[in-house]
């Protein structure tokens, strides 16, 4: 039976807005049976080794479908849609459009909206300095979890290099201050391993040959 990890208790400001609703809504649309596992956030139910095995970033939602474990709301929805054969076209072209808009929602649209929400929260305290401190703590939290995930792993998603590594390695270059990455030797090693690939060198050489600085 599909298990869905959702909140049983969460702070008042988040209640009604949490991302487990994305999975629950999709399941409602698809009419797939599932079992709810409620997690108590204030009691730190998410911060255990057992839960981290399901959700490396210690977050909700996660699913366990008879041993197929996933976190990240978008990944859960894509998996469930493909499994149910609902809410996603079955042809590669149609599926690609759905993937495109899933990433647009998660990255292009969610990121600035979430940042604004966090700036406004910090404003209530000490303004921009507080916001920067919060953002550094947020980055450290996710880098720390990525560090733990990379223990014994060469690549993030599978034993071999995949497109997920192209995305993750390139995202890590957004940390312009190397001191942010330095405390995480596996993350640094992983990033360097990805960028040591001959295809990256060829890509960058050809990019610089074509792209002028404006």
Ligand X SMILES: N[C@@H](CCC(=O)N[C@@H](CS)C(=O)NCC(=O)O)C(=O)O
Q: Which stretch binds ligand X (CB under 6 A): 55-63, 83-91, 125-133, 184-192?
A: 55-63
Q: Tell me the sheet residues that pair with 5.
A: 37, 62
Smallest separation, CB 59 to ligand X (Å): 3
Q: Restricting to residues 65-84, name those near ligand X by CB under 6 A.
A: 72-73
Report in angstroms the alpha-carbon separations of 176 from 133, 144, 170, 179.
16, 17, 12, 9
Task: Decide: is 59 part of the binding site for ligand X (CB under 6 A).
Answer: yes
Q: Which stretch binds ligand X (CB under 6 A): 59-67, 79-87, 91-99, 147-155?
A: 59-67
Using CB under 6 A, which of 5, 6, 19, 131 touches ligand X? Answer: 19
Smallest separation, CB 167 to ligand X (Å): 13
Nearer to ligand X, 46 or 150 (CB): 46
Using CB atoms, what's the residue nearest to ligand X? 59
Task: Decide: is 60 part of the binding site for ligand X (CB under 6 A).
Answer: yes
**CA–CA gap between residue 51 and residue 40 (Å, rounded):** 12
Task: Decide: is 18 part of the binding site for ligand X (CB under 6 A).
Answer: yes
Smallest separation, CB 200 to ligand X (Å): 26
Using CB under 6 A, which of 46, 81, 88, 168 touches ligand X? Answer: 46
Return the number of other C-beta atoms located less than 10 Å from residue 7's C-beta: 20
Task: Decide: is 6 part of the binding site for ligand X (CB under 6 A).
Answer: no
> Where do contacts with ligand X occur on this chain (CB under 6 A)?
18-19, 41, 46, 58-61, 72-73
């Amino acid at each position: 039976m599909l298990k869905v990890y959702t909140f049983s208790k969460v702070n008042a400001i988040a209640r009604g807005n949490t991302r487990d609703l994305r999975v629950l809504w999709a399941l409602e649309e698809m009419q797939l049976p599932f079992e709810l596992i409620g997690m108590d956030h204030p009691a730190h139910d998410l911060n255990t080794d057992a839960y981290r095995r399901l959700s490396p970033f210690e977050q909700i939602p996660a699913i366990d479908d008879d041993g197929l474990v996933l976190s990240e709301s978008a990944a859960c929805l894509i998996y469930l849609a493909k499994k149910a054969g609902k809410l996603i076209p079955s042809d590669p072209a149609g599926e690609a459009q759905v993937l495109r808009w899933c990433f647009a929602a998660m990255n292009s649209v969610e990121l600035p909206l979430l940042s604004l929400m966090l700036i406004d929260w910090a404003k209530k305290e000490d303004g921009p300095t507080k916001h920067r401190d919060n953002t550094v703590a947020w980055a450290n939290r996710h880098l720390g979890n990525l560090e733990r995930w990379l223990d014994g792993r060469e690549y993030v998603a599978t034993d071999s290099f995949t497109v997920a590594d192209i995305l993750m390695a390139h995202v890590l270059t957004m940390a312009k201050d190397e001191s942010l990455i330095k405390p995480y030797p596996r993350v640094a090693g992983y990033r360097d391993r990805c960028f040591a690939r001959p295809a990256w060198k060829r890509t960058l050489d050809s990019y610089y040959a074509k792209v002028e600085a404006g």
